[in-house]
Structure 1
């Protein structure tokens, strides 16, 4: 019997994940059955269960890929010299997420799938642990960027790095939520809004 190549195995796994992501983005995790996934990918149950024992494993695999892509995009953007300001960095990250790394087909569907992952983490301990680790990693990376901003003189000394990190992460999460709910939100809106906030100055008290 001919030995199946690793390339073939990887391509089959990719086919299953992509098909499952489309199903989940279209109908949600709980309204999607494994039979729906089988029909979407055009494979037998045996072929799919060789890679994933069930829907929960598929959900975790999709989440791992999505957050791995976000981390990679973030570190790539953050390695630029000089370090991009938050408005530029966030816009680059989100553009890459929705244009290149998006699970579920891109745009609103992908944002909706990310929201589903967040809510699923409330009941799935494995997924919750994975997200906790991913967010802690991202908070640490943002905090290091905040230190770089402070060292370059563009961030006030009295602003805690962790505070800035969590605030910028919240801005990204809020954009994803708006994208999922309303669909027509443009990354340029977030970029311009952040730039406007960055330009504000407290009035001098006479």
Structure 2
């Protein structure tokens, strides 16, 4: 059965996720009621529960969507590196820029908090983080194909901490200069990797 769409062209599932992003980020997961989600999404409460078994499922859908989008962006950058269309420095700068995007800053903290309380959210978040880590592994291997696996793992840990930390920095300092921060981050990471960098 094809779901009816509203005038904006979004299907009910996408509307609910979009509204949940806004409400969970602004009010918090527990303070947002299913009734509010339904009203703001222009669907019935029954429709919310037909599409999602619980609010947890909506959080998991947001996590999955965010992870899929980030991993796709990262792999497009790595493909460009492999085709020699992009340097390692430019790739790191681009990923830092993606990490600094001002989308869902408050929501990321809310999702992390919910992962501490809810094992199913924690498991899904861990699984999504594993996909992200594999992307970072690809970048580290492109940057330093010469290093042993233990050292490569150390590079991956540092890069993961940096990129994830940049994502949270946006919520704390929303007016940060993302271009300058991306450049500085790329320079520091290149230095940590033992690679030359511009400037």
Tell me if TM exceeds 0.5.
Answer: yes
- 1:128 aligned residue (122, 125, 133): 122
Q: Which residue of 2 is the match for residue 25 of structure 1?
A: 25
Where does residue 140 of structure 1 map in the other structure? 134
Which residue is equivalent to 1:169? 160
Q: 1:66-77 to 2 correspondence within 5 Å?
A: 66-77=66-77
The alignment of Structure 1 onto Structure 2 pairs a total of residues equal to 187
| 1:78 matched residue in structure 2 | 78
Give the aligned CA root-mean-square deviation in angstroms. Answer: 2.8
Give the alignment's TM-score, normalised by structure 1: 0.77
Q: Compute the displacement of 1:63 (Å).
A: 1.0
- Residue 185 of structure 1 aligns to a residue in which SS? coil
CA distance in 2, matches of 1:96, 1:143: 17
Q: Report how far residue 65 of structure 1 moved.
A: 0.8
**Contact 2:67/2:132 (8 A) holds in 1:** no
**Mapped contact 1:73–1:97 kept (Cα < 8 A):** no
1:57 aligns with 2:60: no
Residue in 2 that maps onto 1:194: 185
Once residues 82 and 159 of structure 1 are traced to their aligned partners in structure 2, the CA distance between those partners, rounded to angstroms, is 27
Within 5 Å, give how 1:176-191 maps onto structure 2.
176-191=167-182
Greater alpha carbon shift after TM alignment, 109-118 vs 59-68: 109-118
TM-score for both structures, normalised by structure 2: 0.79
Q: How far apart in 2 are the matches of 1:85 and 1:164?
A: 18
Residues 120-141 of structure 1: per-residue CA shift (max 9 Å, x gap): 1112212211122222232233
Q: Which runs of 5+ in 1 are unaligned?
A: 100-106, 202-206
1:104 matched to which residue of 2? none
Deviations, residues 41-64 of structure 1 (Å, cap 9, x unaligned):
122111221101221111111111
Aligned with 1:150 (options 139, 144, 147): 144
Partner of 1:102: none
Aligned CA distance change for structure 1 residues 158 and 193 (closer, same or farther; 3 Å):
farther
Partner of 1:35: 35
Q: Matches of 2:39 and 2:100 in 1, distance apart?
A: 26
Moved more, 192-201 or 122-131: 192-201
Task: Note if contact 2:17-2:62 (Cα within 8 Å) is conserved in structure 1.
Answer: yes
The 3 A distance-change label for structure 1 pair 116 and 189 is farther
- Alpha-carbon shift at residue 187 of structure 1 (Å): 2.5
